[in-house]
A and B are shown apart, each in its own frame.
Chain A
C-alpha cells in the first residue's frame, strides 16, 4: 500500500521569501500525487495534482510542485509567499493503477513572518 510523509510539522518563512514544503511517498508504481491547503476554519482545497506527464506541475495561488521519481518526492514550491499563504498544507498520494483511496500526510503548518 502507498504511504506519504511530510517531514516538517511547522515551517516559518518571511513574507516575500521563497517556500519549499517537502513530501515523500512510498509506492511501487507511478503514484497519483496531490497537494491541498487548509486555511483556518476552512476545508481542504486542492492546490495541484500529478497523474502523469510533465513532472513540474502548476497549481493555483502561484504554487508549483515537482515529481522526482528517483527521490520519491513531490515537493511544493512558491517563489514568493504572501501573508495569506499562512495555512496547513497536506500532501496526498494515490495508487494510480489500483482502485484504492488516496492517503493524506499529517500536514505542514506554514507560518509567515511580516
Chain B
C-alpha cells in the first residue's frame, strides 16, 4: 500500500534554529504539495511542484521558508530562522496530476519555543 512518508513526525526547537522537514512522495506521482495546518488558519497551501519544478510558492513567507525537490523521491521544506508563529502541523501530499486527488502524509508537528 503506497504511502507518503514524512520525517520527522514531531520536532521541538527553539526560536532562531533551522528546521528541515522531509517528504517522500508516492512513486510515480509527479506533483508534490506542502501544506500548513493550524487551529486559527486551518489548512494553508504553502508551495507545490510538478516534475520537481516549483510551480507556486506564494503561500510561503519568502524570507524564511524554502521548498525544494532534490530528486523525485525527496521533497524538503526548510525554515530558517524559525519563529514561534511557525508552530503548526506541516503536511506533504503527492498526486498523479495537479487536478487529481492528493495523497497526504501523516504530517510533521512542529513546535517552536
Contact A107 B42 (CB under 8 A): yes
- Interchain nearest-CB distance for A104 vs B (Å): 6
By a CB distance below 8 angstroms, the chain A residues around B31 are 101
Distance to closest chain B CB from A6 (angstroms): 11
The listed residue with most A CB atoms (<10 A of its CB), out of B45, B104, B105, is: B104
Assess A46 versus B101: contact at CB under 8 Å? Given A101-B48, A104-B43: yes
Interface majority SS (helix, strand, loop, mixed), chain A: loop
Does B98 reach chain A (CB closer than 8 Å)?
A: yes
Best-buried of B4, B31, B33, B101 by chain A (most CB within 10 Å): B101
What is the total number of residues of chain B having a CB less than 8 Å from a CB of chain A?
21
Beyond A43-B91, A107-B43, whether A102 also contacts B102 by CB under 8 A is yes
Q: Output the least CB separation between B27 and chain A (Å).
A: 18
A90–B44 CA distance with the chains assembled, in angstroms: 13
A84 part of interface (Cβ distance < 8 Å) = no
- A32–B97 Cα distance when bound, in Å, is 12
Interface residues of A in 18-59 (CB under 8 A from B): 32, 34, 36, 42-46, 49
Q: Given the interface contacts A43-B91, A43-B106, A43-B107, does A100 sit within 8 Å of B42 by beta carbon?
A: no
Alpha-carbon distance between A90 and B35 when the two chains are bound, in angstroms? 14
Q: CB < 8 Å: which of A42, A43, A99 contacts B99?
A: A99
Contact with B along A52-76 (1 / 0, CB 8 A): 0000000000000000000000000
A95 at interface by CB-CB < 8 Å:
yes
A106 / chain B contacts, CB cutoff of 8 Å:
42-43
Structural contact, B100 and A42, CB atoms closer than 8 A: no
| A27 CB to nearest chain B CB (Å) | 11
**Does B106 contact A101, Cβ atoms closer than 8 Å?**
no
Instruction: Evaluate contact between B42 and A34: CB separation under 8 angstroms.
Output: no
Q: A-side interface residues toward B, CB under 8 Å? A: 32, 34, 36, 42-46, 49, 90, 94-96, 98-102, 104, 106-107
